[in-house]
Amino acid sequence: MNQKMLTDPNENVSGGNVNTLRPQPLGLYIHIPYCIHKCGYCDFNSHLIDQGEMGAYVDALLVEMDHYAQSHSSDREVQTLFLGGGTPTTLPIPQLVRILESAEKNFCFASNSEITFEANPATIGQNQLKSLRQAGYNRISVGVQSFNKTELTLLDRAHGVEEIHCTIDRARGAGFDNLSLDLIFAIPGQTLERWEDNLRLALDKNPQHLSTYNLTIEPETAFWKLQSRGKLTMPNEEHQLALYRRTLEVLESAGLRHYEISNFARPGRECRHNITYWQNGNSLGFGAGASSFLDGTRHKNINLPARYIKEINKQRTAVESQESLKPRRAMGESLMLGLRLLEGISIQQFEERFQTSFDQAFGDIVSSLQKKDLVTIEQNRLRLSEKGLFLADSVILEFIA
């Protein structure tokens, strides 16, 4: 594995030690909760499109952004913006442009900032893509999920195979040189060969970034109900493991670097926005159900778009819950997130952030995990071993208070 660091180890990403000379990095997330259709496996905060509501929703977003900008924009520099969903491209393009313009007006953006939007195949045309590129969006993440017709049907996706190719080609044509594709594996009935076909078809598109997600049946989803009625059977654990191993082989040999449990990228094209989450850095989330994390406090907005709009119109915020963790739990959370990255966590940064000795807090746990060959410590970084990668949750559990 290529062990080039994702970030300069000297750069403070934690927000703990304030460097007054430099503005602090900040990620912005904007949630568009609308979809043309809810897929069977989806447990995101997504709702069917509602033309009557969507205009008011964008207005509310801008109000919320304005509110937080007043208190948080002055000493921070936005490094990344991520427009996710739902399906952001269910909104009219001018609205997407308007959201970005408003963000840039309210916050101070770094010159090389990463500005991503998610798009589902068949929801966007060539000219619209061009407009978004011109407006300043410089990264597109396409929700492909599968290049196989049977699998798309099983996943309950609203698009076909042709539409995937078409959307990706259009994005390239519109000037998006930073392209990410999402794929799902461990779909019932998926053989190793069929999954490898999917990976090859994805690689043919020369993506800068690939996310491959092991299908997970989440409570209350349509798939959950099917499974509990015996109408859907997940591949067994051995097969899921084989699919995951194959993913690593195929993608790494194609020159993509495995940098997070489910994410791969050409060197330098890792998703900087998501890395902010895994490094437990500061981010502001706008929109229904969005989460923010600022200086140790996390808050989450109301999920339901209609209620979100109502609250914003009333008081400019729509926070549903908020938490500030005590140090021991916060440490557990930082490790939970940081160990998802293949480069692991910097022990030095951890100690600076929590003003504590890592060895004193976790030395026993680490040495027991080292003996089991589940983690390694090299160059003062704690990382999952290859064996530990497949058992990440069990390893992380050890660090949880």
Partner 1 sequence: MNQRRIRNFSIIAHIDHGKSTLADKLILATGGLQKREMKDQVLDSMDLERERGITIKAQTVRLQYQNDKGEKYTFNMIDTPGHVDFTYEVSRSLAACEGVLLVVDATQGIQAQTIANVNLAAKNNLAIIPVINKIDLPSANADSVKEQLEDILQIESDNAVLTSAKEGIGIHEVMEAVVKHIPHPIGDTEKPFKGLLFDSWYDSYRGVVVLIRVVEGSVQVGTRIHFMANSTEFVVEELGAFTPAPVRIQSLQAGEVGYLIAGIKQLDQTKIGDTITDASRPTEIPLPGYKEAKPMVFSGMYPITGDQYELLRDALKKLKLNDASFTYEPETSQALGFGFRCGFLGLLHMEIIRERLEREYSVDLLTTAPTVIYQIHSVDESTVLLDNPSKLKEIRNIDHMEEPYVLGTIIVPEEFIGTIMVLARERRGVQTKMEYLNPKTVLLQYELPFGEIVLDFYDQLKSSTKGYASFDYEFLDFRTSNLAKLDILLNGELVDALSVIVHKDKAYYQGRELAKKLKEKIPRQMFEVVIQAAIGSKVIARESIKALRKNVLAKCYGGDITRKRKLLEKQKAGKKKMKLVGKVEIPQEAFLAVLRTDGK
Residues at the contact surface with partner 1, assessed by CB under 8 A? 29, 31, 45, 213-216, 237-238, 240-241, 244, 261-262, 274, 277-278, 283, 285, 289-291, 293, 298, 300, 323, 329, 332-333, 336-337, 340, 372, 374, 389-394, 396-397, 400-401
Pick between residue 62 and residue 215 the one whose CB is nearest to partner 1: 215
Whether residue 89 contacts residue 96, with contact meaning beta carbons closer than 8 Å, is answered with yes
Cis peptide before 86 (omega within 30 of 0): yes
Residue 90 beta carbon to partner 1: minimum distance, rounded to whole angstroms: 19
- The packing angle between helices 51-72 and 305-315, to 10°, is 50
Residue 134 beta carbon to partner 1: minimum distance, rounded to whole angstroms: 28
Pick between residue 31 and residue 383 the one whose CB is nearest to partner 1: 31
Pick between residue 220 and residue 314 the one whose CB is nearest to partner 1: 220
Q: What share of the chain is helix, strand, coil (3-state, %, to 5)?
A: 45, 25, 35
Task: Give the N- to C-terminal CA distance of the chain in Å, as an integer.
Answer: 31
Q: Cα–Cα distance between 229 and 277 in angstroms, integer?
A: 36
Please state, as a whole number, how many other Cβ atoms lie within 10 Å of the Cβ of residue 203: 17
Residue 82 beta carbon to partner 1: minimum distance, rounded to whole angstroms: 9
Q: Cα–Cα distance between 180 and 142 in angstroms, integer?
A: 6
Pick between residue 347 and residue 384 the one whose CB is nearest to partner 1: 384
175-142-162 Cα angle (round to 5): 90
Pick between residue 128 and residue 283 the one whose CB is nearest to partner 1: 283
Residue 394 beta carbon to partner 1: minimum distance, rounded to whole angstroms: 5
Residue 392 beta carbon to partner 1: minimum distance, rounded to whole angstroms: 4
Pick between residue 166 and residue 242 the one whose CB is nearest to partner 1: 242
Residue 31 beta carbon to partner 1: minimum distance, rounded to whole angstroms: 8
Q: Cα–Cα distance between 14 and 261 in angstroms, integer?
A: 21
